[in-house]
Amino acid sequence: MESVTKGKFFSHFYGGALVRSIHWETIVQSLNAKKRELNLNDEVKWQKVTSQYLDKYRSLVDLFFD
């Protein structure tokens, strides 16, 4: 997750996902392969999403939660 550094909702958030170590490499490879497939070469951040990229971001998030 991201943190907001100014404004009414200033806060710090830290996020992550718990996975078994035996699944780690498969998960990382799957997410990186999906990023390549979607041509998302830079850091994936919701602040960067545009209407043109929204479906790509959703596709990556769907894989993450699968």
On whether residue 10 sits in a domain, the answer given is: no
Token pair belonging to 45? 């951040």
On whether residue 12 sits in a domain, the answer given is: no
Token pair belonging to 30? 């799957």
Residue 1 — very low, low, confident or very high, per pLDDT cuts 50/70/90?
Answer: very low
pTM, whole model, 2 decimals?
A: 0.72
- Distance in angstroms (rounded) separating the CA atoms of residues 12 and 31: 25
Contact 31, 64 (CB under 8 A): yes
Please tell me what DSSP assigns to residue 47: G
- Distance in angstroms (rounded) separating the CA atoms of residues 23 and 10: 35
- Distance in angstroms (rounded) separating the CA atoms of residues 5 and 7: 7
Residue 4 pLDDT > 80:
no
pLDDT tens-place string over residues 28-52: 999 999 999 999 988 888 787 889 9
What is the total count of domains within the chain? 1
On whether residue 34 sits in a domain, the answer given is: yes
Domain of 47 in residue numbering reads as 21-65
